[in-house]
Structure 1
Amino acid sequence: MRRKHVPQRTCVACRQVKPPRELIRIVRLPSGDVEVDEKGKKPGRGAYLCPNKACWERASSRKLVEHALKTKITNEQEENLRQYCRSLSSESV
């Protein structure tokens, strides 16, 4: 019997390949807004990050999310992403 195909996604910060359920998706909506997509169902271009602060801080400092989403992130959107990062534990969720 064949195994079910599980899609793989890459963290934009550490480049680890994992199933999408183990990563957090950040999405650029068609309206241009950038936000965290906790369920992974929102339409738009997505970028994935591991659920640990180190990856979030690395992605923020190197503007990796901006590059992956092919858009500029406003200060307000960046602050929203940082608030989400602060809610994560220091190791992983």
Structure 2
Amino acid sequence: MKARKIPMRKCVVLNEMKPKKDMIRIVRSKEGEVSIDPTGKLPGRGAYLSMEPDVVTKSQEKEILDRVLGSKLTPEFYEELLKYVTHQKARKELFAND
């Protein structure tokens, strides 16, 4: 049986290629709304971040997502993103044994 290809994406903060399932997609719609895209299928300009809380804080400090997506992000958005990433990382570690 043929081995399946693993889709890879580049983290905009770390500049490293990682499997898509280990990343979170942030998307900016045509209207300029920025949101978290858990499915990876929302239309618009997307940017990928590693699923690490320190990557999110580094992105906020250096305003990397703001530059990549071309819009000013609010501190509330970064708080929501940090909560989401922390929650997803905890879930992944909890269910890693399955």
Q: Which amino acid aligns with 2:8?
A: Q
Q: Is the 8 A contact 1:35 1:81 kept in 2?
A: no
**Corresponding residue number in structure 1 for 2:16:** 16
**Corresponding residue number in structure 2 for 1:30:** 30
1:43-58 maps to which residues of 2 (within 5 A)?
Answer: 43-58=43-58
| Greater relative contact order, per chain length (Cα 8 Å cut-off, separation 6+) | 1
Give distance in 2, aligned partners of 1:20 and 1:87.
16
Give RMSD over aligned pairs: 2.1
Larger Rg: 2
Give distance in 1, aligned partners of 2:47 and 2:17.
13
Give distance in 2, aligned partners of 1:81 and 1:74.
8
Higher fraction of helix: 2
For residues 42-77 of structure 1, give each alpha carbon's deviation from its aligned partner in whole angstroms, at most 9, with x where no partner exists: 0011111111110000011111112221x12243xx
Structure-2 change in CA distance of 1:74 and 1:22 (3 Å): closer
Q: Is the 8 A contact 1:30 1:44 kept in 2?
A: yes
Identity within the alignment, %: 29
Aligned residues: 89
Q: Which amino acid aligns with 1:23?
A: M
Q: Is the 8 A contact 1:36 1:81 kept in 2?
A: no
**Corresponding residue number in structure 2 for 1:86:** 83
Unaligned runs of 5+ in 2: 91-98
